[in-house]
């Protein structure tokens, strides 16, 4: 609607202010809809919006060869190898220093996520062990390698040093098997005897030669 105003005896029409929601763009005035994206029509006659541009995924950052060599030089590990030449799977032998586990060696596996180092490696002990901090399936109670506590700058040597520290010092604080933690707390001598016997029966022989 318009209003009529008089000025000097003459009348003229005054348009009200245009509000944002009343604006209409006349595409014909600007050359039609040329240059505007058109929706695509599928064979069934139903139009579909233009696809979004794909965002390239973050490039994979694999464990560096320097880290593998660093772990091999560390004295707590022997026979460190890639599984089937897969740089994302490492296996080796961990050598505890203290009884009741220092009579044997324990095979471990590290599995790296495609999102490493943003995601921690999964650490598994493949050799059975009588230890409250290691589950029956080889899962390890290791906060340093948990999703909640993981730091992308953590080196693999630190992860394995922490694992060795866990084996050398069984306690009731890092627990995955409450029954063994209870045995350690209430009957420590019986726990040590069982752990020594289990190590003798199931652990791998310790290498006689020093590591590289």
- Which residues neighbour 135 within 8 Å (Cβ) at sequence distance 6 or greater? 141, 176, 177
The residue to which tokens 């001598």 are assigned: 189
Candidates 178, 175, 180, 176; CA nearest to 191 is 180
173 is catalytic: no
**Region class of 20: left (phi > 0), else alpha (psi between -120 and 50), else beta:** alpha
Per the DSSP assignment, residues forming a β-bridge with 5 are 12
Identify the three-state secondary structure at position 201.
helix
**Annotated catalytic residue within 111, 141, 165, 192:** 141
With 0-12 CB in 10 A as exposed, 13-18 as middle and 19+ as buried, what is 132?
buried
Catalytic (active-site) positions: 141
């Amino acid at each position: 609607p318009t209003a009529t105003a008089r000025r000097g005896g003459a009348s003229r029409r005054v348009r009200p202010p245009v509000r944002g929601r009343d604006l209409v763009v006349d595409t014909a005035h600007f050359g039609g809809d040329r240059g505007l994206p058109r929706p695509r029509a599928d064979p069934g006659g139903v139009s579909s919006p233009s696809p979004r541009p794909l965002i390239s995924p973050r490039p994979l950052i694999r464990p560096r060869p320097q880290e593998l060599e660093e772990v091999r030089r560390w004295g707590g590990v022997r026979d460190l190898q890639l599984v089937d030449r897969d740089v994302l799977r490492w296996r080796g032998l961990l050598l505890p220093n203290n009884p009741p586990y220092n009579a044997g060696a324990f095979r471990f596996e590290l599995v790296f996520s495609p999102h490493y180092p943003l995601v921690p490696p999964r650490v598994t002990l493949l050799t059975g062990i009588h230890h409250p901090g290691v589950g029956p399936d080889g899962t390890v109670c290791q906060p340093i390698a948990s999703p909640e506590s993981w730091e992308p700058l953590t080196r693999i040597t630190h992860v394995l040093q922490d694992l060795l520290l866990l084996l050398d010092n069984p306690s009731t604080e890092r627990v995955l098997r409450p029954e063994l933690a209870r045995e350690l707390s209430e009957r420590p001598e019986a726990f040590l005897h069982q752990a020594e016997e289990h190590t003798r029966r199931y652990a791998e022989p310790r290498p006689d030669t020093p590591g590289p």
